[in-house]
């Protein structure tokens, strides 16, 4: 049975679906158009599903509708209930499902190739389809097991510390080579054992690739797995000759790749060094070293309130610590009071401020911070020199001047905020003991114009609000 | 469609993806990941084909499970994206 081309309207419908997905991403260029974009995405998906159901002889409609209802119900409830701080785990979990779905589809295509129209005249599966299928199941399996590990690490169900196996680079490269070799051999021999061995090895390599990567590098990993889930969909699109799947796969693949690149650049890490893993293992050791005692000033909520009331402009630098302390609402309240008193307040967001790309923006948006008061690193960094107050809350490494000056520092070269140029710096921190992810000391603590506000972030913001309203 | 036609669509779509994604504002990178997650579940097309076909019961059940998994993502992904996007508000006044 040769692959017969479907009617023109069907191909057109999948093309429209693909174009709608492009428009969905295009809408995200601004918050104002983003909701319409999301609706384009939903419409594209509906078109793809309905077209598929209408053009295939469906022997099991009740089962299919049941599967959609069960899955859709679980997805819907999860999406409604999830806390915004848990978004990285949710995305990782969703990636694992795409990966597993790709594995199951590829397996079904292998078991019942006639249904997919990929059987050649000789009664065997077309060799090209075998490669696509092999790549599809391999990428799908890597996405699945990798995302499961990423999920466990992000959700704190597994230690974020890197797990380093001896000879891991040899094992990983060997396994990858074996997978590719077997997929190649699969084109001449379509024995089931080859297919299932590829699947098993791919599950294994996904697991091996992610366990050595430390918690601080998780934003890159989540983006990378996002990319993989796209490539898996694209590979299956090749098998099915389906335009919607191919366009989507390419979009998602590029999206994840670009986000990984942005995250790596924001940490000044090379993609290879992130993938090789191990970051954070040595830092934990150096963080334990005895540090020289340097003088620093402690401030109070009243000091901070007084100084910020006098200020013309305040720039707030939030980090993930703020979200951990659930301080975003109290912080926004503080900013609101200041704005009412005529102070200009802006928020400065570092690309790695949260646990995934853009995470901090979502957390601030949830606390009703208007998005036009929130600025990216490169847009606001020059303004610190004119700012009266830099208010750092729950951030550390992203304001560390050592990244600019100290070539021996593990974070050297990472782009950081020039908070040291602000006239006054308030640094909200639980205690003087803790250090950032990278485990390095921060000169900002000891500057003349810095006052340390040592307290729980939420409590401190609430106290400042009280003092401001006096 | 022959392989080259499909490959052409794929390569062009990669370029489109590259430019469209760079134009996404960094403030919306989390919703971007959530929505790409939802749309990559277009793999449900393959799952539906497997689930709908007779012939191999195993393949059918694999397809049905894949339909359920992809549906979690589709409904969950679009819903969570919509929830996030609704939070982004401009300054009042």
Residue A289: the pLDDT is 46
Starting at the edge strand found earlier in the chain, the sheet holding A424-429 runs A374-376, A344-349, A313-318, A389-393, A424-429, A450-454
Two structure tokens written together for A198: 């590829």
Q: Which residues of B63-74 are buried (b: 16+ CB within 10 A; e: fewer)?
A: bbbbbbbbbbbb
Residue A59 has pLDDT above 90, yes or no: no
Indicate yes or no: CB of A111 within 8 angstroms of CB of B37.
no
CB within 8 Å of chain A, chain B residues 9-28: 9-10, 13-14, 16-18, 20-28
Of all residues in chain B, the one with the smallest CA distance to A64 is B64
Chosen from A71, A91, A224, A374 to mutate, greatest number of chain B CBs within 10 A: A71
Distance (Å, rounded) from C-alpha A404 to C-alpha A427?
A: 19
Please give the backbone phi and psi of residue A341, each rounded to the nearest 5 degrees, phi first.
Answer: -90, 10
User: Which residues of A are identified as catalytic?
Assistant: 397
Mean pLDDT taken over chain B? 93
* Interval A31-58 mean pLDDT: 94
Task: Return the top range by mean pLDDT from A54-63, B52-61, B82-91.
Answer: B82-91
* Segment A324-338, tens digit of pLDDT: 899 999 999 999 999
The helix (H) or strand (E) run that includes residue B34 is helix B29-40
Partner-chain residue, chosen from B59, B80, B81, that has the shortest CB–CB distance to A112: B59
Q: Is the CA virtual torsion A61, A66, A69, A75 positive or negative?
A: negative
SS3 A433: coil
End-to-end CA distance of chain B: give it in Å, rounded.
Answer: 55
Confidence of residue A281 (pLDDT cuts 50, 70, 90): low
Q: What is the C-alpha to C-alpha distance for residues A125 and B86, in angstroms, rounded to an integer?
A: 47
In angstroms, the CA A387 to CA A347 distance is 12
Of the pLDDT bands very low, low, confident and very high (cuts 50, 70, 90), residue A4 is low
Contact A71, B68 (CB under 8 A): yes
Task: Please name which of A264, A273, A106 lies closest in space to residue B46, comparing C-alpha atoms.
Answer: A106
Residue reference for tokens 């990567």: A213
Looking at residue A167, its pLDDT comes to: 82
Identify the weakest region by mean pLDDT among A114-123, A390-399, B42-51. A114-123
Q: Count of alpha carbons within 13 Å of B53, Cβ hemisphere only?
A: 24
- Cβ of A82 and B14 within 8 Å? no
Give the Cβ contact number of residue A343 at 10 Å: 19
pTM to 2 decimal places: 0.90
Write a three-state SS string for A96-114: HHHHHHHHHHHHHHHHCHH
| A178: closest CA of chain B, how far (Å) | 25
What's the CA gap between A398 and A305, in Å, rounded? 24
Q: For tokens 């301080």, what's the residue? A: A327
The residue of chain A with its CA nearest to that of B90 is: A370
Find, in chain B, the residue whose alpha carbon is nearest to that of A6: B1
- Whether A353 and B24 have beta carbons less than 8 Å apart is answered as no
């Amino acid at each position: 049975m040769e692959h017969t081309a479907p009617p023109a309207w069907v191909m057109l419908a999948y093309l429209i679906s693909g174009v709608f997905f492009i428009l969905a991403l295009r809408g995200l260029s601004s918050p104002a158009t983003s909701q319409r974009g999301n609706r384009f995405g939903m419409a594209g998906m509906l078109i793809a599903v309905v077209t598929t159901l209408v053009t295939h002889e469906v022997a099991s409609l009740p089962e299919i509708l049941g599967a959609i209802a069960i899955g859709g119900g679980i997805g819907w409830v999860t999406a409604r209930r999830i806390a915004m701080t848990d978004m990285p785990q949710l995305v990782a979990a969703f990636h694992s499902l795409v990966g597993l779905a790709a594995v199951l589809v590829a397996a079904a295509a292998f078991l019942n190739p006639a249904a997919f129209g990929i059987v050649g005249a000789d009664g065997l599966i077309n060799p090209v389809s075998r490669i696509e299928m092999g790549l599809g199941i391999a990428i799908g399996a890597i996405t699945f097991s990798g995302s499961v590990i990423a999920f466990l690490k992000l959700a704190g169900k597994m230690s974020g510390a890197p797990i380093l196996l001896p000879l891991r680079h040899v094992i990983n490269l060997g396994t990858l080579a074996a997978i590719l070799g077997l997929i190649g051999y699969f084109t001449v021999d379509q024995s089931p054992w080859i297919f299932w061995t590829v699947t098993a090895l791919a599950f294994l390599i996904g697991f091996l690739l992610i366990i050595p990567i430390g918690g601080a590098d998780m934003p890159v990993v989540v983006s990378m797995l996002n990319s993989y889930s796209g490539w898996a969909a694209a590979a299956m699109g090749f098998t099915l000759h389906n335009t919607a799947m191919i366009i989507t796969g390419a979009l998602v693949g590029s999206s994840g790749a670009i986000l990984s690149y942005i995250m790596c650049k924001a940490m000044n890490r090379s993609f290879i060094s992130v993938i090789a893993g191990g970051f954070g293992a040595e830092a934990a050791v150096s963080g334990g070293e005895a540090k020289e005692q340097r003088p620093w000033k402690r401030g109070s909520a009243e000091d901070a309130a007084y100084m910020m009331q006098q200020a013309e402009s305040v720039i707030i630098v939030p980090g993930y610590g703020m979200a951990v302390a659930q301080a975003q609402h109290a912080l926004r309240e503080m900013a609101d009071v200041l704005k009412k008193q005529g102070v200009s307040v802006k928020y400065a967001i570092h690309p790695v401020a949260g646990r995934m790309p853009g995470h901090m923006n979502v957390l601030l948006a949830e606390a009703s911070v208007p998005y036009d008061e929130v600025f990216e690193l490169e847009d606001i960094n020059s303004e610190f020199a004119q700012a009266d107050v830099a208010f750092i809350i729950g951030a550390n490494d992203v304001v560390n001047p050592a990244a600019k000056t100290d070539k021996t520092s593990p974070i050297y070269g990472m782009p950081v905020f020039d908070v040291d140029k602000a006239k006054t710096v308030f640094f909200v921190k639980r205690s003087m003991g803790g250090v950032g992810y990278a485990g390095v000391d921060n000169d900002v603590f000891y500057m003349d114009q810095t006052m340390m506000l040592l307290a729980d972030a939420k409590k401190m913001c609430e106290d400042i609000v009280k003092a401001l309203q006096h | 469609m022959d392989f080259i036609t499909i490959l052409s669509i794929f390569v062009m779509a990669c370029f489109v993806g590259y430019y469209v994604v760079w134009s996404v504002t960094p403030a919306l990178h989390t919703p971007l990941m959530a929505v790409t997650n939802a749309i990559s579940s277009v793999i449900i097309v393959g799952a539906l084909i497997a689930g709908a076909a007779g012939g191999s019961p195993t393949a059918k059940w694999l397809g049905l499970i894949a339909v359920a998994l992809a549906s979690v993502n589709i409904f969950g992904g679009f819903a969570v994206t919509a929830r996030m996007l609704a939070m982004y508000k401009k300054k009042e006044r």
